[in-house]
Chain A
Amino acid sequence: MSLHLKAGSVTFENVTKKYGAVTAIDNVSFSIEPGHLVTLLGPSGCGKTTTLRMIAGLEHASSGRILIGGKDVTSLPATDRDVSMVFQSYALFPHMTVGENVAYGLTVSGFKKAEATERAEEGLALVGLAGYASRLPSELSGGQQQRVAVARALVLEPEVLLLDEPLSNLDAKLRRKVREEIRDLQQNLGLTAVYVTHDQEEALAVSDRIIVMNRSVIAQEGTPRELYEAPSSAFIADFIGDANLIAGEVINADHEKAKVRIDSVEYDLPSRGLGRGSAQIAIRPDSILLEPAPQSSGQSSEGANQVGIKGSVTHATYLGNQMHYSVDSSLGELFVVDYRIDNAIKAGSDISITFATKGMALIAP
């Protein structure tokens, strides 16, 4: 493939975007390294699309600076930025063939027709659609249309590729396949890509780094693993892979380990800079272990844990490969996922609750 990509970095410096009285983006700063795929993740209305459109130049920042490939593009219109975008609706021009669609960006920037056509062909081959050039977009499936949109963005050899919820129009099966294709392409070409989604699983699957946004600001930025294992706030813990938030107390801590007491049970967790005092602990649903309430004073099988906390199952839902439980306990309502479906616990049963430390994280209160 003869794409000559010059992957660029993207930097936001204290960028704010206001629509009248609404602040869509509030003093946001981040920077994206060349060749990385970074996801903007967050609940609806948090400002992901706005951020992306500001990179594209479709919206202009109310204040702050935006740099692409080190150059200040803050006041440059979309036309003059070296950035391509794949739209949620694909935005293929319905009156042009697939080939014309892909060649469009080349033709308007002054390429000869023959060369534009040739490059368009190459672009289509890159996404596995060689030979589709003479079709109309309406004659393609949703997934194929999506790939045409990607090809159209790629042939311009942009410094940055932007994707706004590129998979939301596809069905669940196809979504997984296409997201792998996009990730492969991005890695093979060494593209810088910014990817907007509100699906946390999708974000975890494709990204080098994730920027989680909430209410117009960045809530946390990091690799998928960092976000999952060391959420900086209750919001992140809950947004990325559900978490039960329970209150506890740090009884003593150094800069590595902290001894945390929940109910009457003590756990050793990474201290993450927290000192003594009350704290919040996020526990993943599959790290909560339920055992039938002990008749005798038998120890639980996990040696690391001590005596369980008492509780009772209020709901038990069978989901094929896992059980979901709602549990009432002195720590509050807990949501539990259990893969041991063979000896499922019935709703109404009394149980004893223990936690696996690998799924627990201390969070500043």
Chain B
Amino acid sequence: MRTSFFPWLVLGWIGFAILPWYALEDGFWAFEWLIDGYPFDSDYAPALLQIFQGKEWLLPLIFPLLFPLWIIRKIKSDPKYASTLIISGGFGLAYLLGQGFSIGIGGWEFSTLESMFGILETRQFGMGYGALLAAGSFLILLTTGLAAAGNLRGDVFVTSAIGIVVALVATFVFLPVGKILVSAFVNEEGFYALSTFTNNFFTKKIWGLECLSSSVSCGVGLNSFFLAILTATSTTLLGLGFALVATRTDFRWKKSLRVLTILPIITPPFVIGLALILLLGRSGTITQFVADLLNIEAGRWLYGLPGIWLAQTLSFTPIAFLVLIGVVEGVSPSMEEASQTLGASRWHTFKQVSLPLMRPGIANAFLIGFIESMADFGNPMVLGGNYDVLSTEIFFAIVGAQNDQSMAAALAIILLMFTLSAFFTQRVWLGNKSYTTVAGKADSGIHAGMNPLLRRVCLCVTIPWALFTIVIYGTVLFGGFVVNWGRDNSFTLRHYADGFGVGWNDGSLVWEGAAWDSFWTTITISAIAAPLTAALGLLTAYLLVRQKFSGKNIFEFGTMLSFAIPGTVIGVSYILAFNVPPFELTGTAAILVLCFMFRNMPVGVRGGIAAMSQLDKSLDEASLTLGANSFTTLRKVILPLLRPAIVAALVYSFVRAITSVSAVIFLVSADHNMATSYIIGLVENGEYGIAIAYSSVLIFVMLTAILLVQKVIGERKLRRADRLAPQSKNSKPSTNSAAMEKQA
């Protein structure tokens, strides 16, 4: 047989008998261990030697490494082949994880185990090279066995790919979220108690309604909820207005409206808030101007609900626009024409035909606005004042003086409940309804014009709003060149020099600016995360679109779930899950990369699904019957046809990694600081000048990256497009990145 488990078994042995079993203190990429006591030092020893150094519990792992040897001469269709591999792989994986979770730094993790086996003197650290390799090897042995047993038409690649994705999602989405649920029940002494949760969960601090009757503010849970409702409403209405202007009017600048849609992708979330401070804050330009004009006291109204609402509406309206423009365009013109030929007026047509057809799309935009607002961390952080919301409160529960993990966990659960219910509603209630109209086939005909009054209202609202957005971005652009915005408006390059100065020293380049450090870290980590995210997302999309297997719905749900988990919750959960064995990752760059991978994966999955469903399935099948296996098929047939989708996924995950802040702020460390958390730090110190200079550098970098890539694939796509042109619809791999971003 072409595929054999033997190489994987060898890898398992390498992991068990040669490589250091435990995580090294110096980090994954440090190799001092090679000259520093390996292989006998217990920090560096492989598992085989650890067994003799007091870690007898590693002994059973030899069994799954030896057992498969007896079937090495057997053929794949022998039932013993399959069952041996399933037993070995399954046992190995289960035992490895079981012992990892049961025995930690302080001996037994569970008191029942301690009372059964007695107190354990030795301790163990997180999984290192050896343990990870062995775990991977067991996983592949298991999936190879499952394939040999006839699952998934005996396809080892597909079975293993599913196994790997499931293992990764379980480890990096479900484990952390599960950990949060558990942590909410742990009291200060470290014991499980229901009261911890109920006390934290049902406090006035979260659910208080005082604000209705007095000037005391309401609970954070309700604050978040009000804010989310307000933001979702305003973004949906504005988005609809923009969508109508863009599709139903002859407004001259409507083409440029589309530019709006890439803004939120390249804007770090707090930048809008920052610009608002410069314009409308106490010493903001507009505030001062109005105060002088009317001779009134400059107010602090911006810091609190109005400011956050304004900032979020500015930030998320483009997303609503993107969702709704597809919906508004998707309403078939022939339906509107039909209505008009039946004698209905324009207003009537709009009200009776177009609007009902758009309703699912509008609901979708609302839910997305709701989730975005709930999850937003940057704007409340910058503009919050004393209007506390869940996402920031979680942060302060962890980093504040209290460091109350169970409080943070309880808050995270509440936030998660809100976003997950919105997510469920979106999926169950709307299903695919809102998208089918978008994907509808081209339909000739012209959209009905708008009723004049409606048209005037739309234009009157959207034009000023668009101008306002332009002013905001102008502020971001120029803010970095002003000594002290609002007080001393003279031109300076000082902020850029402080942040991004370079100098010469002894003929070599020196990165003098304070921002370089976090800048390069950000670029490096994003550049590492992007291809991994894209690969994981597209692989998952391939499995979802092209393979049939039981549990596929759950599988899909699991991979899309992280979309509905707010960044702050991810951040907290990663800290809770990955600062103790068996996965010790906090403080490393790896945890940042992993966090980006699993947060942005749904985008890659969606994009991949959209692109792959346009590829005729018989292409894969032709390749299979021609003797290529599914891996070769993926590599030689599907991936080349998906190139635009791949690039879109790459760029998107790169950019999102740069702009993300909510999860990152928990996970950065002195060694690995990221641009966004660095900027937040600057803002907290009131150093707006350099903060805004840094932000515009980031925006500039991302814009360049996007344009560059679009130019490169844009051209290639054109050439390909005419190569493909006469082919049937099936073979045109056009990905509209819009469809992807719509999900975001």
Contacts and interface: CB of A to CB of B under 8 A. Distances in A.
Interface of A: 56-58, 60, 75-81, 83-85, 87-89, 91-95, 104-105, 108-109, 136-139, 152-153, 156, 162
B626 A156 contact: yes
A94 B641 contact: yes
B352 interface: no
Contacts of B621: 56, 58, 78, 85, 87, 91
B154 A77 contact: yes
A75 B151 CA distance: 10
Interface stretch (B136-144, B400-408, B628-636): B628-636
A89 B730 CA distance: 9
B720 interface: yes
B731 interface: yes
B247 interface: no
Contacts of B632: 108
Nearest to B1: A80
Contacts of A78: 153, 621, 624-625
Interface of B is mostly: helix
Interface string B701-728: 0000000000000000000100111111
B25 to A, nearest CB: 46
Contact of A85 (B150, B625, B637, B641): B625
Nearest to B619: A91
Closest 3 CB pairs between A and B? Answer: A105-B626, A91-B622, A91-B618
Contacts, number: 93
A76 B155 CA distance: 10
Contacts of A105: 626-628
Given A88-B618, A138-B727, A79 B720 contact: no
B547 to A, nearest CB: 12
A94 B730 CA distance: 10
Nearest to A19: B548
A93 B618 contact: no
A87 to B, nearest CB: 4
B626 A152 contact: yes
Contacts of B77: 75
A85 B626 CA distance: 8
B106 interface: no
B727 A137 contact: yes
Nearest to B635: A108
Contacts of A87: 618, 621-622
A84 B625 contact: yes
Interface string B145-173: 00000100111000000000000000000
A105 B154 CA distance: 21
B418 to A, nearest CB: 37
22 contacts: A57-B624, A76-B154, A77-B154, A77-B624, A79-B630, A80-B2, A81-B625, A85-B621, A85-B625, A87-B622, A91-B619, A91-B622, A95-B640, A95-B641, A95-B724, A104-B636, A105-B628, A108-B623, A108-B626, A108-B632, A108-B636, A162-B625
Contacts of B629: 79
Nearest to B625: A85
A94 B623 CA distance: 13
A132 to B, nearest CB: 15
Interface of B: 2, 77, 150, 153-155, 616, 618-619, 621-630, 632, 636-637, 640-641, 720, 723-728, 730-731
A95 B721 CA distance: 10
B626 A56 contact: no
A89 B618 contact: yes
Contacts of A93: 619, 622-623, 637, 641
B654 to A, nearest CB: 25
B406 to A, nearest CB: 46
A152 B622 CA distance: 10
Nearest to B158: A77
Contacts of A156: 626-627
Contact of B628 (A88, A108, A153): A108
Contacts of B637: 93
B550 to A, nearest CB: 11
Contacts of A95: 640-641, 720, 723-724
Nearest to A109: B627
Contacts of A76: 154
A105 B618 CA distance: 15
B441 to A, nearest CB: 18
Given A104-B626, A156-B627, A138 B726 contact: yes
A104 B624 CA distance: 11
Contacts of A92: 622
Nearest to B626: A105
A77 B625 contact: no
A18 B170 CA distance: 32
A141 to B, nearest CB: 10
A104 B623 contact: yes
Contact of B155 (A77, A84, A89, A162): A77
Nearest to B641: A95
Contacts of A85: 621-622, 625
Nearest to B726: A138
A193 to B, nearest CB: 14
A264 B728 CA distance: 59
Contacts of B155: 77
B370 to A, nearest CB: 37
Contacts of A88: 618
A235 B83 CA distance: 48
B723 A79 contact: no
Nearest to B730: A89
B720 A91 contact: no
Nearest to B152: A77
A270 to B, nearest CB: 43
Contacts of B627: 79, 105, 108-109, 156
A77 B2 CA distance: 12
A56 B77 CA distance: 19
Contacts of A58: 621, 624-625
A78 B622 CA distance: 10
A252 to B, nearest CB: 55
B631 to A, nearest CB: 10
A262 to B, nearest CB: 50
B636 A138 contact: no
B619 A60 contact: no
Contacts of A138: 723-727
Nearest to A140: B726
A94 B727 contact: yes
A75 B154 contact: yes
Contact of B625 (A57, A94, A136, A139): A57
Nearest to B2: A80
Nearest to A141: B726
A323 B624 CA distance: 50
A80 B625 CA distance: 8
B153 A60 contact: yes
B90 to A, nearest CB: 22
Contact of B616 (A56, A57, A77, A91): A91
Contact of B723 (A75, A80, A89, A136): A136
Nearest to A104: B626
A120 B676 CA distance: 56
Given A84-B625, A88-B618, 8 more contacts: A56-B621, A56-B625, A57-B624, A58-B624, A75-B77, A93-B637, A93-B641, A153-B626
Contacts of A91: 616, 618-619, 621-622
Question: Which of A56, A78, A83, A109 has most B Cβ within 10 Å?
Answer: A78
A45 B201 CA distance: 57
Contacts of B630: 79
A329 to B, nearest CB: 48
Contacts of A77: 153-155, 624
Contact of A94 (B150, B624, B626, B723): B723
Contact of B731 (A81, A94, A108, A109): A94
B728 A89 contact: yes
A347 to B, nearest CB: 41
Contacts of B619: 91, 93
B174 to A, nearest CB: 28
